[in-house]
Structure 1
Amino acid sequence: MPFMSVKFTLQKRVKLAQGLWMLYWLSVIVGILIFSVGIFFKIELRKRSELMDNNESHLVPNLLILMGMLACGANAFGGKVCHDSLDPMKFAKWKPMLKPYLLLCCGFNILLLLTALLCFLMQFAVYLTLSEGLKNSIKFYKDTDTPGRCFMKRTLDMTQIEFRCCGNNNFRDWFEVQWISNRYLDMSNDEVKEVLKTSHLSLLSRVLSNVEGKYLMDSVPFSCCNPGSPRPCIQHHLTNNSAHYDYDHRTEELNIWTRGCREALFSYYSSMMNSIGALFMLTLIIESVDMAGLKYLSTALETMADPENPECESEGWLLDKGVKETFAEMLAKLKTLGKKNQVEEGGDAQEAAT
């Protein structure tokens, strides 16, 4: 007995076909949106690829672009079928393709679900690659003359300005690296010589965790400055209260951004990936409704008592049999395929032995 059967008149078939046609073209628009979001996401990742440790995070935008293209093609075909469904001559041309098309739609919906889950699960990988990439970016900030790192300074400065952040975890990350190039240090200056020769934990007011041979200071780049601060930006000697008038580094931190760039960038990318995952779940619902509607329409057209009389009633259903019977039949087919493969492998082995 068919599962969820419904009686259809001519008026109901026409309304179903028109509604499905509109829904399929809405799905095409959603497919274009997914494709566009994939392009945008890829561009956003490429803009800050220097701040990331690897290219694994590009798997999601590549899948978005692919799924957007597939959605446009599959739904445009479904819309054409619905448009021609009320013309018996035109529908006869599409009829043999409906079963393979519905199977392909099932596979497409599974891919949609997997891609949506991937958008949520890949966020941890993005967090790790940002953490390691930003750490290396800060380390290579001064290498403006090194091929492959020439634009690292510009990228990191623009990121800190745009996302209102400073450093990897916080602004103190800049205290642990030499971020000023030797090219711009006066090696004849006594102060520079003193800093370069300073050992661990000496001159704490000026140098934190210094290492011999590195120019480490309690300073940050200009891009860490908060333009909303009521006083001019203090970016040097941040931990030295006596170096500035009416200043206490323990309480006055409005001067620079205190949020780390890893947190800021991860928040930006994770919110984008969550939105994309939600879009895919919505697309999955629309695609499922499209599939169910097309199945009802095709069965309703096939069961017309008199195909030449469009006024006659017909019956449409979602499944040819009950849910249990359908699943049992699918499992039986899968087992049969498995046995056939085993027999073929055994036959090949016997032939090889002879």
Structure 2
Amino acid sequence: MEKITINTSTHPYNIYTGENIRFNIKGFLPKEYSSILIISDETVSKLYLKDVKSNFSVNEQVFYSVIPSGESSKNINTYYQLQTEAINFGLDRQSLIIALGGGVIGDIAGFVASTYMRGIDYIQMPTTILAHDSSVGGKVAINHDLGKNMIGSFYPPVAVVYDIQTLKSLDEKEIRSGYAELIKEAFIADGDFLQVLLNTNLQAITTEQLEKHLQTGIKIKASIVENDEKETGIRKYLNFGHTLGHALEAEKGYGTLTHGEAVAIGTLFALRVSESFFSINLPYDAFYHWLRNNLYPLQLDNLNTDKIIKKMKSDKKTVNKKIQMVVLRKLADPTVVEINDHELTQLLDNFIRELVVS
């Protein structure tokens, strides 16, 4: 087992990674709680809810709520339902919420915790590769029909318990989704790690490789979060690939593309924009072929550029209706540039045509 400590302005918390550590949750809790609410989804609850519940005795007040799987559940109606259930279960300010699942569960359960009785403790128990990113850093949110994660807050967990063994149940689509965030972290922070990932076949990945990749990604994320908890500076760089990625998710309908699949396309676009802005050559072709070889969906047929740009303007980094996009001056050297509508339309049209032809 490995432990990484993150120091925040609210409180420090530990990230634990290892195999089968879901059976030792009490050892990771900072204190005793009056009651516990486990929030999970229909897919994950069938696999791991019983394991998590086995940590607690019949005399302890342990409840659970299960919501439909997928990004489409991360909405105001589900949020209100979970708040209602927390009230009905009798949770108080000394209660704990456990977010058992992927990024959707971590985001919505964390947002419930941040607002229930003005804030109670929660721990993240990620069960996807993608959630290695979302579970670290304390950003919690729900979606609005007009944009992803538009309603939320910064609210760190009291612990992250990452049982690598739960990742063995992931299908290829979820593996692809998670690795899009890992490769994003490599692009903005670690060229050597990028080369390792570009030489990785996701259809033949070993547990040892996966654990090493996850720990490297978590350390990159942790380092950035510690230096910029509230996203006033360098934490914005973690949105590399997300400006277009979030817009694609919203335009196509949440759940049509996974978050990671959309971010992968957004990362390709961000590389093209970087090359255009700084007259440089980045490993666009190597990344494109890696995506193709690992079966990422890359076609953007029948996409309306004007609608996509409108969605991109809903991005949280937009200032005065001007899109602020994370790009690379060179590998592992990110910055933010402002792009006007004319430039963006040309770049996006060219990018879409390029994907259709390829």
Structure 2-normalised TM-score? 0.21
Higher relative contact order (CA 8 A, sep 6+): 1
Structure 1-normalised TM-score? 0.21
CA radius of gyration, larger in: 1
Query: Between Structure 1 and Structure 2, which shows a larger proportion of strand residues?
Result: 2
